[in-house]
Amino acid sequence: MASFLSDLVQYQGLFQMIPVLGIGGTFQIGFQISTITYVSQHVKAFINETWLERYGYPIHQDNLLFLWSFIVSITGIGGLLGSSGSRYLTVKYGKRKCLLCSDLLMIAAAFIMGCSKIARSFEMILVGRFMSGISAGLCVPLHHQYVGEISPRKLRGFANSTASFFWSLGKAVGQIVGQRELLGSQSLWPILMASCGVPALVQLVTLPFFPESPPYLLMQKGDQEGCKKAIRQLWGEGHHQAEIDDIMKEKATMKNTKILSVLELIKEPSFRWQLYMLATVTATVQLCGINAIYFYTFEVLQAAGFDERMISYMSLSVGLSELLATVVCSSIIERLGRKTLISGGYWIMSLLLAGITVTLSLQDWYFWMPYCSLCLIILFVVVFGVGPAGATVSIRVEIFKLSCRPPAFVISSVLNWLGVFVIGTAFPFIVERLKQFCFLIFMGVLFTSGIIIYLFLPETKGKSIMEITEEFNRLNFKKKCVPATPNHVTEDYTFCTRL
């Protein structure tokens, strides 16, 4: 505790910047995911009213369901476009400028969605959701990279884990403001949709007071004075020779190492199994059933006979449980390791989904069965937050070398946002047809992914990238050990270490 307080005083600039990046990054994504469920009925009613005014007859229910699923999923298409261009824009303009532009785009999207009811146009909701997706696709990978680059070595693991915390915090705050007594009413739902611009506005106002990341200033801009100034502002006036040496070594290595393109990375046989693991963990996050859990919470509580006013407050416990679980994850990830948290979390979650399916099927037989369903739902969310939610972020970074990490982030983001679009479009129809048995699909995905991770993913805890690469080479080259030799850097480097 004393060590943490000491770090808090010394690195106060860093601890001030992390919330700014988090609020404008993963927080607003979690916020949008949460609030969209609270406006579903209001938006559907608005679409039906608008359709009736235009054409003189109500919209068909299948068309209404399709329009709503498209409103939910079009964010994935926007995110796909935003994440695809993040690498080029970051290198050319820097992370801070890109985040500020992303904030402007999000604020514009919020304004468009907020005016949709006044303009009597549900198409404005589609446009706003698409624009917010582009902003989210750009800012989320920048959030991860920015936090990692501004953090000293001993605080890097803690700083990276804050991404999942702010994501869960955004979902919890979205559940709070989405209550009927606040912004979730029939008259205020446009304001609820427009409130996604508030986190972007906070970051837009505060981020200019913080520096660009020191590695970018030195390696991309060649600005040594700017790099030293940024380090002083973020890390204080102490001695940071080790971190400075790391930046200089990385700069020297970049001159002798080619950054692979996305196509080159896909074709490269020495990274085949790393890509398999990346695709597995990314797809499983989308297919683990967490969205289905949030969807069914309201129905479970309603079946238990609770008053509708109490249901929204009780469902908030699910979001708060995930928030607390992410805090636990940051404290145990270095003890248990990534592989254990992911594979073990998948298996436990699959068992919980089996139990949830049974209790939902029997909830009309016994009065106490819905209470069992609620307990299992909360436990499922806790296991997700403690295990896969946080450890997946670390795995995506740790299994790739510097030369292929940028294209790997592009591939991961594309797969993630493509999954958001596909699941967002198909999920309402799956739930309507299969009801509670839709959980069996997610259960199969979790169990299979757990086996794959257990058998083929090396444990990355406490290992260097070269050690991890050597273990993957046993798979990439059919157990023929191919040593992963580092790039030899012979260029001398000098840097003024007096800050």
What is the per-residue pLDDT across 294-324, written as a single tens digit (0 to 9) for each?
666 666 666 555 666 677 777 777 778 878 8
List CB contacts of 342: < 8 A, sequence separation 6 or more: 281, 387, 388, 391, 392, 395, 450, 453, 457
pLDDT at 104: 94
- The domain 12-209 having CATH identifier 1.20.1250.20: the answer here is yes
Instruction: Please answer whether residues 441 and 168 qualify as being in contact, where contact means their C-beta atoms are separated by less than 8 angstroms.
Output: no
**Cβ neighbour number for residue 467 with a 10 Å cutoff:** 12
Nearest alpha carbon to residue 391 among 313, 338, 316: 338
Tally DSSP H helices, then E strands, for the chain: 25, 0
Q: Alpha-carbon distance 375 to 367, whole Å?
A: 14
Mean pLDDT of 114-137: 91
Mean pLDDT of 113-119: 92
Q: Alpha-carbon distance 331 to 161, whole Å?
A: 9
For residue 347, pLDDT over 90 is answered with yes
What is the per-residue pLDDT across 3-33, written as a single tens digit (0 to 9) for each?
555 656 667 778 888 889 888 888 888 888 7
Whether 12-209 shares its CATH topology with 257-479+487-499 is answered yes
- Domain ranges across the chain: 12-209, 257-479+487-499
Mean pLDDT of 363-382: 81
Nearest alpha carbon to residue 281 among 416, 471, 137: 416
Mean pLDDT of 267-293: 83
* Pick among 2.60.40.1220, 1.10.132.20, 1.20.1250.20, 1.10.10.10: CATH of 257-479+487-499: 1.20.1250.20
Mean pLDDT of 405-419: 78
Q: What is the overall mean pLDDT for the chain? A: 79
- Please report which confidence band the pLDDT of residue 261 belongs to, taking 50, 70 and 90 as the band edges: confident
> Which of residues 245 and 60 earns the better pLDDT score?
60
For residue 125, pLDDT over 90 is answered with yes
What is the per-residue pLDDT across 376-401, written as a single tens digit (0 to 9) for each?
888 888 888 888 877 787 777 777 77
Q: What is the pTM of this model?
A: 0.76
How does DSSP classify residue 56? S
Mean pLDDT of 63-88: 82
Share of the chain above pLDDT 90, in %: 15
pLDDT at 126: 92
pLDDT at 491: 38
